[in-house]
Amino acid sequence: MALKLKKYSVLAGVLSASLLLGACSSDSTSGDKEGASKDDKVVIDIFQGKVEIADQLKALTDEYTKEHPDVTFNIETVGGGADGAAALKAKFASNKAPDIFTNDGDAQLLVWQDKLEDLSDQPWVADAFEGTLDGMTSDGKIYGMPLNMEGYGFAYNKELFEKAGITELPTTFSELEAAAKKLQDAGITPFSIGYGEWWVLANHGLNVPFAYQEDTDAFFTGLNDGSGKIEGNEFVSKYFDLIDLTIKYGNKNPLTTDYNTQVTLFATGEAAMTQQGNWIQPMLDKINPEIEVGFIPMPITDDAAQADKLMVDVPSNWVIHNGATDEEKEAAKDFLNWMVTSDAGKTAMTKEFKYIPAFKSVEASADDIGPLGADLLKYSQEGKTYSWQFMKYPDGAGQEFGAALQAYVGGQASKEDTMKAFDATWQKLKK
């Protein structure tokens, strides 16, 4: 299967249907599969990586079991990207595979396809917005249900920007640098950066220069056939300038700052900006319900038409293990369908998860999804979005890119050495 080459206008379907619209810990909730089986219940094991919705997902499964008392759930949440991927592989290796888990699509679909149930005949397929199933489609079959639409950039604190006298939002690199100086002069830490997380640097960060390429399809083709290189690429080189800027004007000890600390520093007003996505909205609401936030881009050039865009895409998909029992597969399929068709499921997705829906029938307002989601909608309405190119990395490349970038942040490697490391990783891991 060729990796999908996204051509859809992100959230275009959301707009036409008049819809107004990763993390770092482990948690397990609910029951014991063996014990519950003794009570003649079908036990569904769910493995997922979004720490920020762990409580909300547990509440949603509880609602389902009220309507379906013959079904119970074990939920395990392991965030942090590589940690979650390693934990999932360990479960399969020890014959404790979950019934429902998540898959990012594209390259990850290729890795896991032989373990996934064909979901092409499910009712929600016809309700999905155009393009949202592309990353989980292979040989004409659909293997995953999109969780939602997500996007990211620099979340910013409106009150702190106003305090620093920033009256126009920065959209270019020079404007961002000027804003950072104003914030620092006002006694405000400009950036909360969590470079202890490899994916902040290597997936979400490095996606920016990859998305800037004039022809992203040709760029990745060149990397795969050896005719192209990352080293010396103009936009990748400029990405290091953005890293340098955030370090210069960021919190202390960025390499030991994890996701939770990064978001907490921002939520409590100790920093004015943070590189994250709308998935942090539930955390912000919990820590500081009064905070007023929005999104600005992560610019690496002074070309406003190029730089003033947010990164928006389908972040992950629910999949079902094809090795589960028939009863487990039937219950798992019913739960996923219920999640996007029932009133309880729709309400949870929008009002509790703060998700931008990937389905036409799931309506949500800006009040439901929060101000960060509303800004994603605004950028999408204006056609100012890039898709997530990091989904096309070879399996395992993101972690190695992250390690190389962390070495750069720590002063252990030059920009040139880091870009050479990117190329070496790609050539080593490409299929």
Task: Enumerate the domain spans of the chain.
Answer: 18-149+315-366, 150-312+394-429
Helices (H), 342-414: 343-347, 366-381, 397-409
CA-wise closest residue to 152 among 348, 387, 362: 387
Judging by DSSP bridges, how do beta strands 385-386 and 310-313 pair with one another? parallel
For residue 104, CA distances in Å to 67, 137, 388, 390 come to 30, 12, 11, 10
Instruction: Note whether 259 and 31 are within 8 A (CB).
Output: no
CA-wise closest residue to 21 among 29, 11, 30: 11
* pLDDT score at 33: 55
Judging by DSSP bridges, how do beta strands 150-157 and 145-146 pair with one another? unpaired
54/245 Cα distance (integer angstroms): 34
Structure tokens at 392: 């096309």
Instruction: Note whether 314 and 146 are within 8 A (CB).
Output: yes
* pLDDT score at 82: 67
CA-wise closest residue to 30 among 4, 65, 80: 65
* pLDDT score at 100: 98
* pLDDT score at 264: 98
Indicate the fold that domain 150-312+394-429 takes in CATH: D-Maltodextrin-Binding Protein; domain 2 (3.40.190)
CA-wise closest residue to 336 among 364, 317, 322: 317
* pLDDT score at 30: 46
Spell out the residues 6+ positions from residue 61 whose beta carbon is closer than 8 angstroms to its own: 30, 46, 73, 75, 335
Nearest 5°: phi and psi at 156? -130, 155
Instruction: Note whether 358 and 147 are within 8 A (CB).
Output: yes
359/14 Cα distance (integer angstroms): 8
96/81 Cα distance (integer angstroms): 20
51/26 Cα distance (integer angstroms): 7
Spell out the residues 6+ positions from residue 290 whose beta carbon is closer than 8 angstroms to its own: none
282/57 Cα distance (integer angstroms): 13
CA 307 to chain centre: 20
Phi-psi region of 175 (alpha: psi -120 to 50; beta: other; left: phi over 0): alpha
Spell out the residues 6+ positions from residue 352 whose beta carbon is closer than 8 angstroms to its own: 53, 56, 59, 60, 282
Structure tokens at 225: 């056939």
Judging by DSSP bridges, how do beta strands 71-78 and 26-29 pair with one another? antiparallel
18-149+315-366 placed in CATH 3.40.190.10: yes
Instruction: Note whether 165 and 124 are within 8 A (CB).
Output: no
Examine domains 18-149+315-366 and 150-312+394-429 and report if their fold is the same: yes
* pLDDT score at 11: 43
| Torsion (CA) 316, 322, 325, 328 in degrees, nearest 10 | 20
Q: What is the DSSP letter of 412?
A: S
pTM over 0.85: no
Residues in the chain predicted with pLDDT less than 70, given as ranges, are: 1-39, 80-82
Number of neighbouring beta carbons within 10 Å of residue 141: 15
33/55 Cα distance (integer angstroms): 20
26/83 Cα distance (integer angstroms): 9
Phi-psi region of 14 (alpha: psi -120 to 50; beta: other; left: phi over 0): alpha
CA-wise closest residue to 116 among 408, 332, 385: 332
